[in-house]
Amino acid sequence: MIPYRNTWLVNDRILDFSRPRIMGILNVTDDSFYDGGLYKSEKACKERVVQMVEEGADIIDIGAMSSRPGAVELPEEHERSRIRNALEWIAELGITSWLSIDTYRASVMQAGLDHGAHICNDISGGALDAGLWPVVAKARIPYILMHMPGNPRNMQQLANYENVVKEILHFFIDKIRLLNGLGIYDVMVDPGFGFGKTLEHNYTLLHDLNAFHVTNKPILAGLSRKGMVYRTVDRTPDEVLPATSALHLAALERGANVIRVHDVEAARQVIAVFEQLNSGEPRF
């Protein structure tokens, strides 16, 4: 992994990328592809957050609307309400992990900020709500820039690239220039595995993940239990933790700074082995 020394600071919270970080997924949705409906209640939500924090999550990424291929948009007020509820419940826990909001809507992100969120995780790269970037700029919070053609309903019909790595790299460079023009400098790039990509595109992006360090931004890899995993091994999403862990190790070896995961303890173990392997200590 290329050492990355960028540091984020928000409201006296510091997050540096000198070592790999874990983003734990909290879906307060009905229909996410793996765990939809499991964490909508206050009790289940709190228990899930406590579990992820105890297992080592640096960031909790809260999503209230599924972005799986073909997903139908949730009414905006419903998404806001779910985010508000989750953040109010989490606030009662007194945790110190960073809180990220997985949304492309300005009003939802603002609701998240009003209830203690620290990061905007935008699958659309700013393309689906022109009001989102100004909200991020005004709040001076970090922004996760993901690549996705179109929207979750039609993205798989738009998976057409001559050179997927080069085209997404140019996308990042152009978007980062625009973000910087708004005063948004704490940016993380996410190539968007599974979002408007074929199986071959996904594995090409993972193989060449190091290319995105050209942006001089930390890299997020969201691979956990996705179609590129379970279709490759011919199993259900429930059955692919070993294969997911293999891809997480591959991502770390190719420069990922953050891995976005459903299984925090497994990810912690992968990182521990990766760091030991790359510790530089003599073996003989």
Residues known to be catalytic: 226, 260
Contact 246, 200 (CB under 8 A): no
Residues 6+ apart with CB under 8 A from 79: 64, 65, 103, 105, 108
Enumerate long-range contacts of 116-122, CB under 8 Å, 24 or more apart: 116/87, 116/90, 116/91, 117/62, 117/87, 117/141, 118/10, 118/11, 118/13, 118/142, 119/10, 119/59, 119/143, 119/144, 120/144, 121/61, 121/146, 122/146
Report angle CA 108, 112, 117 to the nearest 5 degrees: 145
**Residue 89 identity:** W
Report angle CA 274, 279, 280 to the nearest 5 degrees: 135
